Amino acid sequence: MVFTTPTPSSIQEAYNLITPYVHRTPLLTNRTLNTVASTPQTPDALVGTPFEGSSPAQPKINFFFKCENYQRIGAFKARGAFHALLRLIERVGEEEVKKKGVITHSSGNHAQALALAASTLGVPAYIVMPRISTPSKIAGTQSHGAEVTFSGSTSVEREAVVAEVQARTGAIFVPPYDDFNIICGQGTTGLEMHAQYLDAVKGEPKLSVHNKAGGVGAGLDAVITPVGGGGLNSGVATFFSDKETKVFGAEPNFEGADDCRRGLDAGQRVERVRTLTIADGLRTPVGVLNWEVISDNKKVAGVFSVSEEQIKAAIRLVLERMKVVVEPSAVVGLAVCLYNEEFRRLVEKEAPDGWDIGIVFSGGNTTVEAIGKLFNS
């Protein structure tokens, strides 16, 4: 597979193209969560970890939350879908794309995003979704006029059904994450976050940990995003690759969902993932093209994982303290900052004065019933 490496300039070009079609989502702060993150975990929280018996870390963290749960279709995926479809029309021609239509596979957010982009641009859309997809995501996809076909939950099962539908329709495949144009579209999340952070701390310097250290810096110290297929993380890492900001990834560790972290440890991409983590948007392995970016330690400084209980605890804090509705996949980055002692010790060691950390809330496609089930199980 030939890979054209994305660059910060290609992220800017993507942003210029998709701006008429996507929202500029808000960047929020929250002093309560800053306090929670900057307070040591209890010794009990370290029992059963490599840090058991040692003093818990006490990093200083101020958060800046990029709320892509407020994006069109409720997730950052709208950025990549619009960019990929607009570039496809440029390359193939509007008449041909409208005649054949487009197809993808997704557990929900890319499904809805491509369905929306296709509907907006007058293109037929065929979407393959796992049968276990969240009902609200299925309904959201169908509401944009897409034809939905169901499959098993693994990438192999999804791809087999895609091939069947393509044979019937001739639809053009738009990858959910493993694609140059998808990566560039998702990377616009980082572009917006950077600009919004600079505006925020310029107008209110006390939002930054660096205000007490003699003035705010030239950008966020770190950004952490969820990692599923890797489109968001590789796109954001590409945007920040010419800046001082460190980019990290976050994953659930349930049933091997932390394939990116394990792959980095082993020096080789993990090709298959079978997991039913509550973070349903992160059940896929990192894509080949995304891996080229994420495995470059000059672009991604590390990937950390958290448990299902830690994800639930992070969701509870966001719901109760921020009054913001998010899905489980969206809070894995926050959970890493709050509960992953290895990451917390890294912040403490690297920055005695603390870090301003950007957290991407990747989506908010959940329901009252789904949230209730999380806390009743």
Residue-wise pLDDT for 33-90, tens only, equals 999 999 999 999 999 899 999 999 999 999 999 999 999 999 999 999 999 999 999 9
Question: Residue 215's pLDDT is what?
Answer: 62
Fold of the 76-173 domain: Rossmann fold (3.40.50)
Q: What sign for the dihedral angle of Cα 60, 219, 249, 293? A: negative
Catalytic site residues? Answer: 77, 107
Q: How confident is the model at residue 133 (pLDDT cuts 50, 70, 90)?
A: confident
Closest Cα to residue 237, out of 312, 147, 301?
Answer: 301
Q: What angle, rounded to 10 degrees, do the helices at 8-18 and 231-239 form?
A: 110
Helix-, strand-, coil-residue percentages of the chain, each rounded to 5 = 55, 15, 35
Q: What is the DSSP string of 111-143?
A: HHHHHHHHHHHT--EEEEEETTS-HHHHHHHHH
Domain ranges of the chain: 8-74+179-375, 76-173
Fold identical between 8-74+179-375 and 76-173? yes
Distance CA 248, CA 202 (A): 25
Query: Any idea which fold 8-74+179-375 has?
Result: Rossmann fold (3.40.50)
Q: Say whether pLDDT at 214 is over 70.
A: no
Judge whether residue 213 has pLDDT over 60.
Answer: no
